[in-house]
Every structure is written in C-alpha cells, then in structure tokens.
Chains A and B, each alone.
Chain A
Amino acid sequence: MSAPAAPSTPPAPAPAPAAPPVETMTVKVNGKTVQVPKTMPDWQGKPAPTTMLQAARIAGVDIPHYCYHDKLPVAGNCRMCLVEFGTPMIGPDRKPVLNEDGTPKIARSVLPYEPGTARGAIACATPISPGMEIYADSKATQQMRESVLESLLINHPLDCTICDQAGECKLQEYSVQHGKAGSQFVEAKVHKPKAVDLGPRIVLDDERCILCTRCIRFTRDIAGDDALGIVNRGSYNTIGAFEPGRFDNNYTLNTVDLCPVGALTSKDFRFKMRVWFLKETKSLCTSCGTGCNITIGSREGVIHRYEPRDNDAVNGPWMCDSGRLNYRWIGRADRLKEVLRTSSGGPRERITWNAALETAADILRRAPQGGVAFVVSARQTNEELFLLKKLATHTGALTDSVPREGDPDRLLVSADRNPNSNGVRLTGMAFTEFGFNLLKIADGIALGRIRTLVVFGEDLTREGLGPELLAKLDALIVSDILPNATTAAATLLLPGAAHAEKRGTFVNVKGRLQRFQKAVEPPGDARPESEFLQELVQAVTGEEPARSIEGLFNRMAAGVPAFAGVEWARIGDAGVTVQL
C-alpha cells in the first residue's frame, strides 16, 4: 500500500475498519431462498439470534404484528405474527432426511398432541434455524391471523368513525388485509372505561385497547418510569396509570405514537384533525441540542403536530413531550411581520426589504474595523451563521452567541437547549464557551468603540446589555421572530423565519449535521434569513449569491473545514456526522 498523498483539504473521516464477515444461514420465506445473518440487532441494538420476522423482512415479506416493535423488548402477547413453519427432518442417524431429488425433507410444524393440525410460532420472538421454511401466507397461517383478529374485534367498540387513529390504525389495516368479513360472536361485549385521564397530555380509551403493552414497555424500559400497568384479569384486563392522572414524564406522548390502535390519544391533538389531511414535512426539533428528527404535520399553512421521525443516529423513534409540543409559537399572532426602521430620533417606519438591506449595507460598509459587533443565536442555521461570519470578518467585528442551559435527562434531552451550538462554533462565530465576548462587547459599546451591533435571534437585554446601553449605539440591526426588548430597541428590524418556514442545517451536540425542510410560509414580510443575508453580503462584499440553499450549503462546505466534502444531497434525511 502506498502512502497517501498529503491532504490538501482536511482528511475525510477514515473508512471504518473492514467489518468481520457476517455469519449467515439460509432460510426460505414463502418459497424464496434468502441468506440472512445469524444474529441481528435486538431492541437495544445488541446482537441477538435473528428472528423469523427479521428474516422475512429481508425476504421482503412483512409479517403483521401488533405488540412487536423494533425498539421495545419483545412481549409476544398479541399472537398476530403467528406463522406456520417447517424445519429439515433429521433421521435417527442425526443426518438430514432427503427427498428423492436430494433436497432436504421438511417437517411442517404441528401440534404435538394433534399431529394433523399446524402449529404456529410467533415470528417476533422465534429464532430461525438453518434450512427453516417460513410459510407467511399459507392457509394455516392465514387462519391463525384471522382468528387473532376476530378475537381482538369481539370486544372492540368498533367506533372508527369518531376515532383519532382512523387512517393510522393497525387494527383497521390488518382487518382489511387479513380479516374475515364477519364474526360468529353473539355474546355481550365487555365494557371498560372510556376517556380515562391518564396524565396531563394523554387520554385512554380502554375499550379500544388491544393490550399489546407497547405503552407499558415504553414507559418502563425506555423512559425509565414504571408508570403504567394492567389491572384486573383475563378479558377484563385494563391499562391503568400507577397513580391516576399522573402519567406525566417528559416522554408520555411517544405512547400515542406507539399505540397501534386509537386507545391512547394526545390531548393536544385529539379530535383536531383527520390525519389524512395533514401535509408531512421532514424537519428537526429545535428545543435542545439533541436535534431529534421530526415530521411536521401541517395544513394550509398551520402546524398541527410534531411527530418523531426515526433516526437511529440521533433519537431512534422517540422525542420528548416538551419538544413535541413546542410549536405553537410559530403561529403566534404577535410574530414580527414587518421590516421596520427608526431614523435617529424619528418614529418607526415600515420600509421595503430593499431599503432595509441598503441601509444595513451602508452602515456595515462605512463602519471602521472593530466598530461593529455581532451577537448571533445558536438557533440560527449553519448557512445563516456562515453568511454572518462573512460580514463579521469584513468588518473585523467581535462576535459571540448566548448559551441556553437546562437539566439533561437520561434519554434524549440535552443540557444544551440551543439546537445549533456546534454550528456557531464550527462557523467561527463564537468560542467553545458562549458569552465569553459579551462583556467585551458591552464595554466596547459603553466606551463608544463599538457603534453598530448586529443581533440575530437573541434578546440582549436579558444578557446584561440593557436598553440604556443599547441606546448608545448608532445602529442596532436586529433580526428575530418574536418581539422582545431588543427588537423594540432596534433601529433596523428584519423579521426572520422559524425553522419550519425555511430550509437549512444544524449540527447537534454530538456533531450530527442534519438538514430540515420547509413546512409552512413565514408570515407577512418575514423572510428566511439566508435569503436576505445573501443579498446583504453581496451589497457589502460584492460576492454573488448562490441560487439555492443547496448551492449555499455547498459553498459553505468548501469554506468551513468541518463540512469539507459534504454536499447538501449527501446529508440525506438522516444527516451525517462531522468532526467537532
């Protein structure tokens, strides 16, 4: 092997060492031969013997299931995944028995006490063995499925027309695919509590519950709060909270996602919207540095819900309740919607974007080196920060950002409550420790050295730069989304866009570079910051704007060492990890 040439750009992350060859075995699914690994990740990601369900997936066959979930311990209680199977027959000499054509003879699974009747195994928990044949569509398998569905439906209220889950319900879906039209059931149904208040965010309909225990396992084994359980016995089994009304950990809403039927509903979303009307947009949660991947559900410009979007590199299938419910501010009536300018001593006037950007460019072009400072939020996107950095460099400005800290938890929530602190660091807008320069900036303003302050997304009056100090500036250029004391003091106010209203990228606390898409339009005159910042950079430095967010990102990747070699397209929906 020859020595690699000296890198001119920072080296791409070293390729992972060649993985050891995966041990496989051969099984048949619905007659199709597939090679499958002997072990596959279990719910915790640890290697475990490959199950029939996993093997079937590799063969492209989805075995219906309710209680099984990739990220929860296996329960095996719903029995929906029962499948008929066969294994190679072994002769008295411990050697496989062969058919005339030399192929191994397969013994179909039968009940030991009734050899004429097929025996099913639950695909979700039964390991495969070499030569096993899985009959996921055989008559016997279909009959088992039909009967499980029949059992699930006999005591079900069948109130789909008023159920929030309608359209996303696995009971509806499987009944259409695998059920029989009618049941022979002629008895009275079991009645159970309806509209049970489980906790501040969750309502339970026990009659709709199919007792799959996904919610129990999630809160016990993932959230670490053993708050839910089953009371009573047999057909009267009922889900309940340990203390009624107190199912209130910060992850309860995940049980609504997990519930395969409409038993658990979100008080926030209940009866608000039929799910099939919602437009879905891939985005990120911005409430902390974890950067949970989300899907925004919106309709006609209004956001109705956030849901977690699966990403094993970040949040798995989960997100916290506080992040999930933190979307209403985007639609607040008092959003900043107008471009405003205050001439010295005069009143605030509404102006055009062109006029505003001309004003800003003029100020920044004339400013002496060191006469400008920038304070930018770690809620801004990488692209925006990259453009702001250009302006800061051009003006020789001091820059900084504002820390936002809270208590971390053991699952997802990060102590860093900013979504893009690493973006701020990687673009060079602040040091490891945020707020380091704030004092210097305050001094500079007080001493009259700094006469222009550019603020993006932070209220500096809460960071020790009070209105009296800000009043000393010649120009206070502010971009934000919601009004605060700093936007009130701005001499030039540029209304920006919430992340749901634009495209861009963040880098989470672990160095995951992730992108998000636009779900809704910004209100009034508000615009995505990267758009108007490009125009401002052009006016100040003469640099041509990129035509698209993709182009802008790729330009940034060439300029920011950590992003070297990454392209917008390569980030994909799951993001890429960059060197911090």
Chain B
Amino acid sequence: MPEPFKLILKNLDEPGYTPDIGCYQRHGGYEALKRALAMPPRELPDGKKLSPQEALREDVKASGLRGRGGAGFSAGLKWSFVDRRSGKPIYLICNADESEPGTFKDRQILHKDPHQLIEGMILSCWANDVKLAYIYIRGEMPHGAKLLNQALKEARAAGFLGKNILGTGYDLEIHVHRGAGAYICGEETGLIESLEGKRAYPRIKPPYFPAVLGLYMCPTIVNNVETLCHVKHIVLMGPAEYAKLGTPNNTGTRIVSLSGDVRRPGYYEIQVGRVTLGELIFDQNFGGGLKAGRSLKAIIPGGSSSKVLKAGEVFKLNHKGADGQMTKVDVPLLDLPYDFDSLQQAGTMSGSSAIIVLDDSRSMVETLGNLSEFYAHESCGQCTPCREGALWLAKATHRLCHGEGRKADADYLTHIAQNIQGRTICAFGEAASWPVLSFVKKFRDEFEAQGAADEAAHANARGSVRPAAGSLPTH
C-alpha cells in the first residue's frame, strides 16, 4: 500500500512543532541556505565555470521541479527566461494567494512552517540575483500574514535576511503583501497589478511576460509557495537524488488537498505519480474510501477549474515499454497515476492538486451551478468573453437548478463555454468554461433530464414550454 511521503510536510504537524525560527533551526532549518551560500564556483567537464548562483539555477532545472501553483511549468525553465541583461532589478514573488476552490495546502506551510518557505525564497532569490521579493498572501489569511512577518523579523535578526546575508555581501529584503480578496489576484499578472496597487486585471501576454515585463515593468519570477519550498530540498538532496522522488518528468513530491465525499478529507503529500487516484480516494493512508453505501460518481482532479472525470472512464495513456517504444495503454480512472502528465493525457489537469470527490448522492447540475456561480462572481470582468460569458453560464445553470431548465440548455451551456475558452486575456477563461464543457459532455443525460423535467412541469402548469428568463440574485 503506498504511503504518504513527507518532505515538505515533514515537521509541521509533528507534536510540539512551532512556527518560530528556533524550532525550525532545531529541525535543521537554514542549513540549506548556509550550504548554498558557501558553495564554490562549479567547474564543468568542458572547462566552463558556473557561479554558485548559476549552479543552483542549473540544479533546479536538473531536478525536474515543476510549478505547484497550477500550470505545472518547469521552475528551472521559468527562471531561465528571466531577462538578466535589461539592467533592471529582478523581482521574485511568492504566490500565496491560494484561492482555487478545493485547495488548502499552501496555508499549511504558511501557518505552521513559514521559515521553510522563507528559506526556499532566500535561496531562489539568491540564485536569481533578486534583491527585493514579495510574499503575496491571500487577503483572507490575516493570521498567516502576521506569522510571516514575525518569521521574516526572526530571519532578519538571525542574519539570513537583510544586508550582507551570512557575511557574503548578498542583500535581500522580503515584504509581505496581503491580497485584495479576489480569486483573480492569484493569476500571476493580476497579482502583479494588485501588488502595484491597482485593480487585479491580468495583463496581456504578449507583451507582458513577467520574466521580461513583470512587477514595475521589471523582470519578475512568480512561483507558488510549495514550489519555492522544494528549492530548499533540492539544495539539501542534490538534484539527482531529488529527481529520484516521483516519476520521470514528474519529479518530487506534491501535497494533495483531498475533499468531498471521502471519509478522510485532508492534505496528503505523495511522491508525484507513485500513487493513483484510486489509492488517494480509497486507501486508509489517504481518503479512506467513500461513505457507507455510496458509490463514486465523479472526480474533479486538480482544483475546481480542472475538467471532471467520470467514474468508470478508461483513458489511453502513453506508455514507454522496456524497449523504449511508446505504446498506448488503457488505464481506468482509478488507476491513473496522480501526476502532471497522466492527468493531462486523460484530458484534464492536476492543476493545484486539489481532488474533489463526488459520490452518487451529488447532482452534477447543482455541482456545476455552484462552480459557475463562483466563476461569475470571480471574473474580473476585464475581457468580453469571460466578463459576459461567466455570468451568462451562471444564470443558465441557476435556472437549471431552480426548476427553470430547458432540454436545450445542455447545448446552450456548451455554446457559451466554447466561446470563452481560448479567447480571453488570462486562463480564468478556461477555468470558467472547462467545468461546464466537461460536466455537460460527461453527464449530458443528467442535464437533459433536468431540463426536460422542468419543461414538462411548466407545460403541465401553464401549457407553455418556454420558461420565463431566470435570474441570479445580484451580489
């Protein structure tokens, strides 16, 4: 039976573990920083020399670390895109906005082990010549912000932060910035705008790629809390050892937020790809199975934005045979390894690694109604397809949830959602439309049955099949 693998979560839930620097250092804290900063330049076999900072950047690339915030983009590659010739300062921002519904992993670190994040950040900043960094923490986590500020103060007092860190001449300041209370503040360019004191309107890319034109139009790195913590472990373990965790191209560990209709909801750290969806839901070490008498209906595998998977689905996955040949193999839903690539091949994503389990007591229509209302409320409203489409979707699903549905609404919803995805400024457009597209596609009968039932009820009631237009309560 696979077990949780505690790398990031190693200490924070241990009895007696406290968020202060003393406790952190008693558990080996800041050793990675000391080691990295004492590193000599690295000689390469071809005679080239890498500065210790360049060497760490190479190590992060070699470790295979992929972003834990949502897109799963290679952290090392992201760092390599940073414009280092512009002469402008380079900024690093820790994305601690954690707002994707179903996700509750970053807050564990922020509240219980803030120094782990800070050490990861200092290392990442040092590797990228960053002198000023920010932690953008979700507005609804005021206690976390307080703890972080306290931790930063301690780190400064201990000489890990501020001027002339550990006597190396390296200066770094980190500031905590509390978010403005919107989901869109987690989108990296919306976050940057918000950090600049503006409305969190995501920026168009091109031209505003953060690596070139980020915070204050300077090169900027945005990484998730968990991503930055991993850098510390890459330093401690070395990239080769680290890459042995997890599976090829899906290295390391991930913290999974498991919620919904399981017996043991919670956060579990696993080696990426070494545990299947079925194990996460049913094993005693993880979800512990469904409630008595219930059967699995659907899984939202990577945060509310990811496309839903239906119980009983079988996917065609690439499989590399012993001879190195790629073949397609059938993989049933519950046997899907929980990693970036497998979920992508299954037509969805691991996103923020938040798994929401739905059993047979759940109405897919109502579940979608809930999600669509969230997206309508959170659309920033900057670009036309999402601004108008997200509320339109919410109004339509609201009708379906309140006896005003139509059989045609399945197609109607699909039409609206298809006109959002791929046409917006930021990936929120996908986030708002993917649940709709996948719910309607995979549970079409449920949507049509609901619509047909409503139409029949109306026909009986007043001899008309056309319902009055429904409306959402305005906020």
Binding site for B on A (CB under 8 A): 74-80, 82, 111, 113-114, 117, 119-120, 122, 125-127, 144, 147-148, 150-152, 154-155, 184-188, 190, 210-211, 229-230, 232-237
A126 to chain B, nearest CB (A): 6
- Chain B residue with Cβ nearest A147: B419
Question: Is the Cβ of A78 less than 8 Å from the Cβ of B384?
Answer: yes
- Most B CB contacts (10 A, CB to CB) among A78, A79, A126, A211 go to A79
Binding site secondary structure of chain A: loop
Pair A151/B389 contact, Cβ less than 8 Å:
yes
Please state if A125 and B204 are interface contacts (CB–CB under 8 Å).
yes
Contact residue among A79, A114, A187, A237 (Cβ-Cβ distance under 8 Å from B385): A79
Inter-chain contact A76/B425, CB cutoff 8 Å: yes
Sample of 7 further A-B pairs with CB below 8 A, known A111-B421, A235-B392: A78-B383, A113-B430, A126-B206, A152-B388, A186-B469, A188-B470, A188-B471
Residue from the list A126, A188, A230, A232 in contact with B469, Cβ < 8 A: A188
Chain B 424-475 interface residues, beta-carbon cutoff 8 Å to A: 424-425, 430, 469-471, 474-475
Contact A79 B384 (CB under 8 A): yes
Q: Which of A76, A235, A237 contacts B204 (CB 8 A)?
A: A76
Contact A188 B422 (CB under 8 A): no
- What B residues does A232 contact at CB under 8 A? 381
Q: In this complex, what residue of A is CB-closest to B470?
A: A187
Once bound together, how far apart are the Cα atoms of A125 and B419, in whole Å? 20
- Residues on A with C-beta less than 8 A from B470 are 187-188
Please state if B206 and A152 are interface contacts (CB–CB under 8 Å).
Answer: no
Q: Please determine whether A125 and B412 come into contact, CB atoms closer than 8 angstroms.
A: no
Q: How close is B180's CB to chain A, nearest CB, in angstroms?
A: 11
A211-B387, A234-B379 known; A187+B199 contact, CB < 8 A: no
Given A234-B376, A234-B390: A188 and B384 within 8 A (CB)?
Answer: no
Give the distance in Å from the alpha carbon of A453 to the alpha carbon of B306 in the complex. Answer: 87
How many Å from the CB of B1 to the closest CB on chain A? 34
A233 touches B206 (CB 8 A): no
Q: Give me the 10 closest cross-chain CB pairs, A-B, nearest first.
A: A237-B381, A235-B391, A151-B388, A147-B419, A76-B204, A234-B379, A188-B471, A187-B395, A234-B381, A111-B422
Bound Cα distance from A235 to B380, whole angstroms = 8
| B61 close to chain A: CB less than 8 A | no
| B412: A residues at CB distance < 8 A | 184
Contact of A74 among B204, B391, B418 (CB under 8 A): B204
For this complex, 30 residue pairs linking A to B, each with C-beta atoms less than 8 Å apart, are A74-B204, A77-B382, A77-B384, A78-B384, A79-B383, A79-B385, A111-B421, A114-B421, A119-B422, A120-B423, A127-B207, A147-B385, A151-B419, A152-B388, A155-B388, A184-B412, A185-B392, A187-B392, A187-B395, A188-B471, A211-B382, A211-B387, A229-B199, A233-B377, A233-B378, A235-B376, A235-B381, A235-B387, A235-B390, A237-B387
Collect the chain B residues with CB atoms within 8 Å of residue A237's CB.
381, 387
Q: How far is the CA of A150 from the CA of B204 in the complex (A)?
A: 22
Residues of B within 8 A of A234 (CB): 376-381, 387, 390-391
For B395, the chain A residues whose CB sits under 8 A away are: 187-188
Chain A residues in 8 Å Cβ range of B274: none
Q: Are A236 and B475 in contact (CB under 8 A)?
A: yes
Within 8 A of A (CB), among B193-214: 199, 204, 206-207
B230 at the interface (CB under 8 A from A): no
Residue B138 CB within 8 A of the other chain: no
Q: How far does the Cβ of A556 sit from chain B's closest Cβ, in whole Å?
A: 50
From A111, A119, A236, name the one whose CB has the most chain B CB atoms within 10 angstroms.
A236
**By the criterion CB–CB under 8 Å, are A154 and B392 in contact?**
yes
In the complex, chain B residues whose CB is within 8 Å of the CB of A233: 182, 377-381
Say yes or no: B469 contacts A187, CB within 8 Å.
Answer: yes
How many A-B contacts at CB < 8 Å in the complex? 109
B399 within 8 A of A: yes
B415 contacts chain A at the CB level, 8 A cutoff: yes
Q: A127-B206, A233-B182 are in contact. Are A117 and B381 (CB under 8 A)?
A: no
- B396 interfacial contact with A, CB 8 Å: yes
Q: What is the bound-complex CA distance between A229 and B204, given in angstroms? A: 19
Given known A-B contacts A111-B421, A230-B199, A190 and B391 have beta carbons under 8 A apart: yes
Residues of B within 8 A of A113 (CB): 430
Question: A315 CA to B370 CA in the complex, in Å?
Answer: 52
Q: Could you tell me the distance between the alpha carbons of A60 and B424 in the complex, rounded to whole angstroms?
A: 27
The smallest C-beta distance from B316 to any residue of chain A, in angstroms, reads 15
Residues on A with beta carbons closer than 8 Å to the beta carbon of B378? 233-234
Q: Which residues of B contact A186 (CB under 8 A)?
A: 469
Chain B residues contacting A74 (CB-CB under 8 Å) are 204
| B377: chain A residues within 8 A (beta carbon) | 233-234
Residues of B within 8 A of A210 (CB): 384
Q: Report B189 CB to chain A, min CB distance, Å.
A: 12
B424 cross-chain contacts in A, Cβ below 8 A: 79
Complex CA gap A117/B417 in Å reads 13
Q: Give the distance in Å from the alpha carbon of A80 to the alpha carbon of B390 in the complex.
A: 17
Partner of B206, one of A125, A148, A211: A125
Residue of chain A at shortest CB distance from B396:
A187
Q: Which A-chain residue is minimally distant from B395 (CB atoms)?
A: A187
Closest residue to A144 on the B side, CB-wise?
B423
Residues of A within 8 A of B383 (CB): 76-79
Contacts of A144 in B (CB 8 A): 423
CA distance in complex: A117, B390 (Å):
20
Closest to A117 in B: B422
Cα(A80)–Cα(B381), bound, Å: 15
Question: Counting chain A CB atoms within 10 Å of each CB, which of B207, B384, B391, B392 scores highest?
Answer: B384
Given the complex of chains A and B, what is the CA–CA distance between A239 and B423 in angstroms? 23
Residues of A within 8 A of B399 (CB): 187
A residues within 8 A CB of B421?
A: 111, 114
Q: Within the assembled complex, what's the spacing in Å between the Cα atoms of A446 and B392? A: 82
B469 near A120: Cβ-Cβ < 8 Å: no
Most buried by B among A185, A230, A235: A235
Residues of chain B within 8 A of A236, CB atoms compared: 381, 474-475
Give the docked Cα–Cα distance between A237 and B471 (Å).
Answer: 17
Closest B residue to A124 by beta carbon equals: B204
**B384 and A151 form a contact (CB under 8 A):** yes
Expressed in whole angstroms, the Cα–Cα distance for A152 and B470 within the complex equals 20
- Are B381 and A211 in touch, CB under 8 angstroms? yes
